[in-house]
Amino acid sequence: MGANISGLVDHEKLTSNMSPLETGLGDLPESCIALVLTHLDPIQISKISRVSRTFHQASLTDLVWEPKLPQNYQILLKNYKNLLSNASDEHLTKKDIFVRLCRPNYFGSSNYKAFWMEKNRGMCVCISWKEMKITGIEDRRYWTHVTSDESRFNTFAFLKQIWWVEGEGNLEFEFPAGNYSVFFRLQLGKTSTRLGRRICTVDQVQGWNIKPVQFQLSTSNGQKASAQYYLNEPGKWINYYVGDFVVDSMQTKLKFSMTQIDCTHTKGGLCLDSVLIIPTHIGPKKSMLTF
């Protein structure tokens, strides 16, 4: 792409020395340029907008950016007022709307549920453990709340020791139609920083290799999925894949949970950060995604 842009710039320099009767790249109508730009991704549009003033103006038009928006963007603007900073924002250009959807947007007064658009890859949602119902979460004998920049919400829950683990949450959101995957973001071992280096302490990790953790999800229209894993990879954050669901209509109600309720042994040393929902085509089924 860079070579193509360089060629366009060089061509424009050459055409600047043409006689008044000759035409060059700069003489292309803005509407034609905009039509070409609709076939490019946002990064390519940003690069090619530097070719000339005409290309820059074309790159700002609604024609270019509307195809990049989710089909339900008007519903999102209506239901999530934090997308609009003030009354004048009601006249945002399509590019402005695109930029705002690509940044984290929170659900109402909650700072622990956020959605954003991964450019051309689809709509994502992240839900903090603080929005979940977790057994014993307020009892400091079992759990501690750790401030950390490793979490999207700057805090994760650390399980010291407990006989059974139950955590569940729910979400109601206007997803664009498509296929989505659900992940729990977990880590064995407690991380900290010492002398500028990341340290992970695993001395409290126990019980996760005896019986698997059960993950489940269900939707209001009857879709269900489940998975189970032995947790045996300490020291790194892993997104454990729960399953997929399909969105046909915009409004989706979703429930998700993780449990390990075998009381024959204690469990401990687990960090619980969040639940991640992303378009299925973005990532593998079990990964260290960095959303």
**Token couple for 11:** 């061509």
Question: In the block, which residue shows the tokens 């006249």?
Answer: 91
Per-residue confidence (pLDDT) for residue 291, from 0 to 100? 39
Virtual torsion, Cα 38, 41, 42, 45, nearest 10 deg: -60
For the stretch 66-86, pLDDT in tens is 999 998 898 888 888 777 765
Q: State yes or no: pLDDT of 288 exceeds 60.
A: no
The 10 Å Cβ neighbour count of residue 41 is 12
The pLDDT of residue 242 is: 96
- The residue that leads in pLDDT, 161 or 78, is 161
pLDDT given for residue 51 in this prediction:
84
Predicted confidence (pLDDT) at residue 31 exceeds the cutoff of 80: yes
- Show Cβ contacts of residue 263 under 8 Å, excluding neighbours closer than 6 positions: 163, 164
Please tell me the total number of residues recorded for the chain in this structure: 291
Q: State what percent of residues in the chain have pLDDT above 90.
A: 57
- The model's pTM is 0.83
Above 60 in pLDDT, residue 178? Answer: yes
- Token duo for residue 230: 């032995």
Structural domains in the chain plus CATH codes: 2-66 (no CATH), 70-109 (no CATH), 123-279 (2.60.120.260)
pLDDT given at position 24: 62
What stretch of H or E contains 74?
A: helix 73-79
Greater confidence, 15 or 258? 258
Q: Which among 66, 71, 67, 62 has a CA at the least distance from the CA of 31? A: 62
Residue 65 has pLDDT above 60, yes or no: yes
